[in-house]
Structure 1
Amino acid sequence: MSLYWRIFLLNAAVLVVAVLLLLGPVTVSTPVLFGEAIVLVVAVLLLLGPVTVSTPVLFGEAIVLVAGLGAMLVANAMLLRIGLAPLGRLSRAMATVDLLRPGNRPQVTGEGEIAELTATFNTMLDRLEAERATSSGRVLSALEGERQRIAQELHDEIGQTLTAVLLQLKHAADRVPEPVRGELHQAQETTRASLDEIRRIARRLRPGVLEELGLHSALRSLAAEFTTTRLSVSAHITPGLPPLDGATELVLYRVAQEGLTNAARHSGATRVEVHLRPVPGGGTGLLVRDDGRGLGAAPEGAGIRGMRERALLIGAELAVGAGPAGGTEVRLDVTADHHGGSRP
């Protein structure tokens, strides 16, 4: 039972027993119990009012007492509803809070304990969001470092090993009879395809083009990488955008990469557009829009949660939803204070 109904029923019981006491059938213990004392106080206050009660109670007086009881119960219910409304709003805010969507705070109204509790809850949310952003930053930094290490090992160890295998296969194919040579050529093609796949994975783990040529070239390269016979990806970059710091460029690149990955794997899209453009207030916005089936009622997966974690690191606003013509739209808006001395 909610707090509202517990208080209301307790008050209603006191009022009903007080009225019954006036009507006569209620007895009082000796010595008087604490609850009975409260009822007696209410009854005495009723007796001190302008309404007199006969002994025995007349029918008309009983009607007046019952009507007065009903009016008091209605007034009690309204006052409780008004008084406990801030507590209800705070309870709903607690139930719906999401640290990946910061900024939503219950409004502090009035004074007293409930207002103090709401303000304390807002302060706790501020601290939790700051700690979440700090811890997420450490985790994502460690993740990027591990990605670079794995990409380096794939390139240096496995890539070089497969290259050596290709050379050995070519050398063997030049010296064996014709029936065996065809099988060796097939093994060469399989090894070459595996080497290309490893290089592609290494590029995704460590975007070297982002470090060397900047975000604009990296987005164009990403669009070309995801373009296939089934999926067309185009990059549209507004000229004259101000430079961004390195951390912001990495977040934009990873969000675009995750958006394109989701579009290629899950949406059934045939066309995806990647836009990098200015937004009101002097910021920079990234938009990834596809013509697929959309999100529907599916819950957010690890990919979208990862994008929200990255957006929190730079204080950007991330929105994932349906596009104006269907499909899915991923929008990331970066404020102007993240522009600065990075790559041109």
Structure 2
Amino acid sequence: MTSTNRTNRSILLASRPQGAPTADTFRIEQSPVPSPGDGELLLELRYLSLDPYMRGRMNDAPSYTPPFELGAPLTGGAIAQVVESRNAGFAVGDLVLGPLAWQDYALSDGTGLTKLDPAMEHPSHALGALGMPGFTAWHGLLKIGAPGAGDTVVVAAASGAVGSIVGQIAKIKGARVVGVAGGPDKCRRVVEELRFDACVDHRDPGLAEALAAACPEGIDVYFENVGGAVFEAVLPLLNIGARVPVCGLIAHYNDAGYVDTEVAQQGPDRLPGLMTTILKKRIHMEGFIISDHQAEHDDFLRDVGGWITEGRIEVLEDVVDGLENAPEAFIGLLEGRNNGKLVVRARHA
């Protein structure tokens, strides 16, 4: 069957959301499947990564990644298979990882693509524990958080793609680990499957008291990817010299007026209290973007890949079937419905 006999579905950004994305934020279009020219590949989607940072790209605002274009397909980390090749560097059947559009088929000249080991048992892990989220967890915790044996480490979004890896690495390093997650089921999973020492529910009206009870000796490392009420509960518990790696603020991504460089001021000004705490307790708080640290990538793969093979890290993966379900899955991601790394498995996977 030639490529022109197949249908290529694409998911486009139909409008820039004000607040939380809705179904109307997205539009699905169909077109013929393109044919590769000289030096090109035709790729068929296998797995699509859905990540919170994509919400920021829906805003028309400057950030560390360019915004999505209105009326164009959204893009993100993905795994695809080469189904036609006119490029000597790639063969039909190769599995590749790279930034690709939310669509069934795509043309590429090979730029930005990485071949995956054909013997890889779970290729989708290259989008999660062995991909950007796992790398974020490894760098943020070990290079900024630097937990020592006996330290108390608190992990926000503990059942998510990043948090689930952070907590398990912290346990490997001998820390006492307390997770924060949404709901009793997630908290139970964090303790029973990921082997955290404790987990508190961020939906609990008594969050601050529950977290204090779970951290009787204070907090030495807080891995921040949420913000909001969780950070407010953490702040008074930080010990002198505490470290706070910051890789995200998902609690604010749907706030009206939010852009990546600032959060719209709401309520009383809490900045003086925050700065006073940072000063008095000599807290090290550092934001980071993992793409700045590619020189460490091989070390990350060696460490985390080894720990997975040894059974010291359990990989949580939340798989949604069908490209057409990506918009609803992404909306759910921002609402905290996922357990572990959220990936879309294409109809061909």
Same fold (TM over 0.5): no
Q: Greater share of helix residues, 1 or 2?
A: 1
Q: TM-score normalised to the size of structure 2? A: 0.20
